[in-house]
């Protein structure tokens, strides 16, 4: 949707369907398949002159060796405003979890809608009305690159 190409084209470019069994001993069948890593998607975007930039909801930091003593980058209120500003300006990909494991959905900022590929038909919903229980961990904002576009046939 974001790249305006058919998913089969992206699967061919990545080199697999995402349905390959990598973990045959996983308890749930959905956890046995390979799926896609966000970095494979990042590669597809960059080949088309677009970048995915990670926007954390609550960025935090800590000195080396003091990970348990982390602090938020700013107040929760300011971070929520910051995050909403990015959602108002950019479409992109939310990465997170559903009850059966990891999941990703597309955010369309012009419509303020989430496009969720969950089978059998996919779903469209707002952030406030989330019928599938998707919990976002991070947002990857789509940015048009100023750099020259690499050849679509290049490997990176």
| Residue 116 · residue 105 · CB < 8 Å | yes
Average pLDDT, the chain: 88
For the cut 80, the answer to whether the pLDDT of residue 153 exceeds it is: no
**Residue 155 pLDDT:** 59
How far apart (Å, rounded) are the C-alpha atoms in residues 113 and 98? 18
| Distinct helix (H) and strand (E) counts, the chain | 3, 8
How far apart (Å, rounded) are the C-alpha atoms in residues 66 and 148? 41
* pLDDT tens by residue, 50-69: 999 999 988 889 999 998 99
Nearest 5°: phi and psi at 80?
Answer: -65, -40
- For residues 112-138, give the mean pLDDT: 86
**Residue 99 pLDDT:** 82
| Residue 94 · residue 139 · CB < 8 Å | yes
Structure tokens at 73: 């980058």
Comparing CA positions, the residue from 64, 65, 82 lying closest to residue 73 is 82
**Residue 1 pLDDT:** 80
**Residue 24 pLDDT:** 94
**Residue whose structure tokens are 């469209």:** 124
Which has the higher per-residue pLDDT, 99 or 113? 113
For the cut 60, the answer to whether the pLDDT of residue 156 exceeds it is: no
Nearest 5°: phi and psi at 9?
Answer: -65, -40
For the cut 80, the answer to whether the pLDDT of residue 154 exceeds it is: no
**Residue 43 pLDDT:** 94
**Residue 25 pLDDT:** 94
Integer angstrom CA distances of residue 123 from 103, 106, 111: 13, 11, 14
């Amino acid at each position: 949707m974001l790249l305006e190409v058919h998913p089969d084209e992206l699967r061919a470019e990545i080199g697999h369907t995402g349905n390959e069994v990598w973990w045959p001993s996983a308890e749930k069948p959905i956890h046995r398949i390979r799926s896609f890593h966000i970095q494979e998607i990042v590669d597809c975007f960059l080949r088309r002159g677009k970048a995915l930039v990670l926007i954390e909801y609550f960025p935090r930091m800590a000195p080396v060796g003091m990970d348990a003593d982390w602090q938020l980058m700013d107040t929760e209120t300011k971070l929520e405003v910051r995050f909403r500003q990015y959602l108002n300006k950019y479409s992109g990909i939310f990465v997170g979890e559903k009850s059966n494991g990891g999941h990703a959905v597309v955010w369309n900022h012009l419509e303020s809608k989430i496009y969720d590929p969950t089978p059998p038909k996919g779903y469209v919903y707002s952030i406030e009305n989330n019928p599938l229980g998707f919990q976002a961990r991070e947002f990857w904002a789509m940015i048009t690159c100023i750099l020259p576009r690499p050849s679509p046939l290049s490997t990176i």
